Amino acid sequence: MMIRKRDGREVEFDETKITDAIFEAAKSVGGADRQMAMEVTLDVLNYLIEHTKGVVSVEEVQDVVEKVLIESGHARTAKSYILYRAQRTAIRNARSELMDTVGEILKETDRDNANITNSPSAKMLQIASAASREYYLNRMIPERMAQAHRRGDIHIHDLDFYGKTLNCVNIPLGDLLKNGFNNGHGFIRPPRRPASATALAAIILQSSQNDMFGGQSFGFFDYDMAPYMEGASEEEIFQAMEALVYNLNSMHSRAGAQVPFSSLNMGLDISENGRKVIRNLLKAYAKGLGRGENPIFPNVIFRVKKGVNMDPADPNYDMFQLAISVAARRMNPTFSFMDTTYNREYGGDVAYMGCRTRVIANRRGPAVTTGRGNLSFTTVNLPRLAIRADHDIMKFYNYLDEMVDLIAEQLYHRFQVQAHLKVRDLPFLMGQGLYLGSEKLAMKDDIEPAIINGTVSLGFIGLAETLNSLIGHHHGQGEDAQALGEEIVSFMRNKMDKAADKYNLNYTLIATPAEGLSGRFIGMDKKEYGIIPGVTDKEYYSNSFHIPVGFPISAYEKMRLEGVYHKYTNAGHISYVEFSASPVNNLEAVEDILRHMCASDCGYVGINFPIDYCKECGYTGIIDGDYCPQCDEKFVRKIKRIELGNS
């Protein structure tokens, strides 16, 4: 007898494989009996001889094995065999999908993250990431959690790094520059001049990025760099800051696949040297890259605080004005407010990173920013729960309650995996004491004593589409929807606070930053539930609590509504105001809207507008008319900020 394999090959029938499979199934339910397995195999062979002609397929043989086991009274063994068969099918499917994914990557690198290149190294990284995701889903993550991710009920961010490393960190730049450091190839001594200080800052960002999958941040860039500006001229400091901007847009990490996702917080240092740092970094960013291109990195975050830089009488008010003028040209810096109801208690010590992450409160150690970061986060598909609830709000809450509990458990599972990493697995991050609590650990030690200071976070997406599904309109269209939206987000925050008590970890709520995810979720929901007006009838779900893009609403009303949600999302948040064109000639309007954002209790904000871009020569900036001022080619297109989120 011949058998047809799944790949189409026809080979000689080997009945011992049937016996082995039945025996293993019997063993798993405590009924191991080789003789029984051989007898069932004979019954299977007899059935195949009697009921089939010619070549049989693998699937046909497996169907007969199940049938004979059940009919011969071996129900428990049959169930085990069926489960084993399903598991093997899932593994085969995963392998097949992996090969398809590899094929696509070889054509074009995944560009979910805008700082990933299309280089050979990037392709290799993406292929490894695809294989790693399948490994974790099939071999490490508990099945119900893995299934929830596969179905699109939840999204485990940076799944490819599930058991390898952590998300992000606020780097203690001042300590590293003061004491020197070793990034694996020898000791780097402390700098003396601005150029060497910024060069080492770039190296530190790159070295830390190689140990992590998320963003790298300097929480106090102005304070940390100020000592190295002493006696330097404005020109020398400008050149150093320009070199830093160049480096952070060209110096690759992760085997040459991407530039470090870097964030620099500054704005509150009122010393003359600190002001030099702020002023010249902003000027260098405003100038752009070599041909005027808009820099992608660093993400400059300008802290705003009353008494320091917010009002005309404040010592750094001129720095605030400069930051506004640069943002009006480059969309960067973004702005964080230290006087909101939830940031005020920490003075000026709250730092943001990436495109919204916030880490400050700490149940396991000091409430500081430096040396801490987010360990991982997982997002719930809110619109799907609302669709399933079919306008029943209580049913929606029941679904949400169950899903958040599942995510809390999954985050704890991931924490336990991360906690057993050794210091030697993250040699720069932990070995050089960047992470709070790691400074006393030996290379062979587990990193748990350090990462208990980190945060784990529940994310959410599509609040607007959720409200549309539940009550027919979103929070930009009625105060009843706004009240329900606030209630839903408050519910999730309360669940995270309870999870923090249960697991004794820093569980937090984040307004999810992933553009790629908003497309993934809606694509899966369209396939399952069809086109639902106001919910799945678009390309993307709205990010976190944002009013849908394109909805006609004033900037002031948008901020009034979105500002309510910032205080609940203690792991991070951001709100944007959209301008139809660069407001470079109307800086008063930008300052006015920023003040309104602060008054609306927004913690972290930015402004968006199209930036003209010439494909021919790479010039990025403000182009008046139809032709590029640099190469005289006809103007091609406008670009807009995309949220650089984790995949």
Q: What is the mean pLDDT of residues 564-578?
A: 97
Residues 6 or more apart whose Cβ sits within 8 Å of residue 77: 22, 25, 26, 29, 31, 69
| 328-347 tens-digit pLDDT | 999 999 999 999 999 999 99
Please give the sequence-ordered ranges of beta strands (E in DSSP) within 1-136, or none if there are none.
2-4, 10-12, 56-57
Q: What does DSSP say about strands 334-337 and 604-608: parallel, antiparallel, or unpaired?
A: antiparallel
- Cα separation, 18 vs 490, whole angstroms: 55
Nearest to 405 by CA among 544, 503, 499: 499
Residue 644 has pLDDT above 70, yes or no: no
Q: How far is CA 430 from CA 169, 373, 638, in A?
A: 11, 13, 42
- Cα separation, 175 vs 301, whole angstroms: 21
- Cα separation, 591 vs 324, whole angstroms: 7
Tell me which residue has tokens 């399903």: 86
Q: Would you state the torsion angle of the CA atoms of residues 606, 609, 615, 621, taken in this order, to the nearest 10 degrees? A: -80
- Would you say 340 and 559 are in contact if contact means Cβ atoms under 8 Å apart? no
Q: What are the contacts of 92-101 at 24+ separation with CB within 8 A?
A: 92/6, 94/134, 94/137, 94/138, 95/134, 97/134, 98/130, 98/131, 98/134, 101/130
- Residue 562 is given by DSSP the state H
Find the helix or strand (DSSP H, E) in which 281 lies.
Answer: helix 272-287
Q: What is the mean pLDDT of residues 231-257?
A: 86
- Cα separation, 65 vs 68, whole angstroms: 5
Helix (H, G, I), strand (E, B) or coil at 191: coil
Hey, what domains does the chain have and what are their CATH numbers? 2-99 (no CATH), 146-166+364-552 (3.20.70.20), 169-349 (no CATH)
Computed over every residue of the chain, the mean pLDDT equals: 89
pTM of the model: 0.83
What amino acid is encoded at 501 in this protein? Answer: D
| 381-409 tens-digit pLDDT | 999 999 999 999 999 999 999 999 999 99
Question: How many other CB atoms are there within 10 angstroms of residue 169's CB atom?
Answer: 28
Helices 34-51 and 58-71: angle between axes, nearest 10 degrees? 120
Burial class of residue 611 in the structure, from the number of CB atoms within 10 Å of its CB (0-12 exposed, 13-18 middle, 19+ buried): buried
Q: How far is CA 134 from CA 83, 102, 300, in A?
A: 19, 12, 36
- Please, which pLDDT band fits residue 646 given cuts at 50, 70 and 90? very low
- Please, which pLDDT band fits residue 645 given cuts at 50, 70 and 90? very low
Between 127 and 112, residue with greater pLDDT: 127
- Would you say 497 and 571 are in contact if contact means Cβ atoms under 8 Å apart? no
What amino acid is encoded at 345 in this protein? Answer: E
Helix (H, G, I), strand (E, B) or coil at 267: coil
- Please, which pLDDT band fits residue 439 given cuts at 50, 70 and 90? very high
Angle at CA 487, nearest 5°, toward 485 and 490?
110
Per-residue confidence (pLDDT) for residue 557, from 0 to 100: 98
Residues 6 or more apart whose Cβ sits within 8 Å of residue 402: none
- Would you say 152 and 524 are in contact if contact means Cβ atoms under 8 Å apart? yes
**Six token digits for residue 29:** 């339910």
Residue 229 has pLDDT above 60, yes or no: yes
Find the helix or strand (DSSP H, E) in which 65 lies.
Answer: helix 58-71
- Please, which pLDDT band fits residue 643 given cuts at 50, 70 and 90? very low
Q: To the nearest whole percent, how much of the chain has pLDDT over 70? A: 90
Find the helix or strand (DSSP H, E) in which 216 lies.
Answer: strand 216-218
Find the helix or strand (DSSP H, E) in which 619 lies.
Answer: none
Residue 565 has pLDDT above 50, yes or no: yes
| 21-58 tens-digit pLDDT | 888 888 877 776 788 889 888 998 998 888 887 788 88
**Six token digits for residue 606:** 């930015």
Per-residue confidence (pLDDT) for residue 97, from 0 to 100: 64
| 485-539 tens-digit pLDDT | 999 999 999 999 999 999 999 999 999 986 678 789 999 999 999 999 999 999 9
Question: How many other CB atoms are there within 10 angstroms of residue 200's CB atom?
Answer: 21
Residues 6 or more apart whose Cβ sits within 8 Å of residue 448: 419, 420
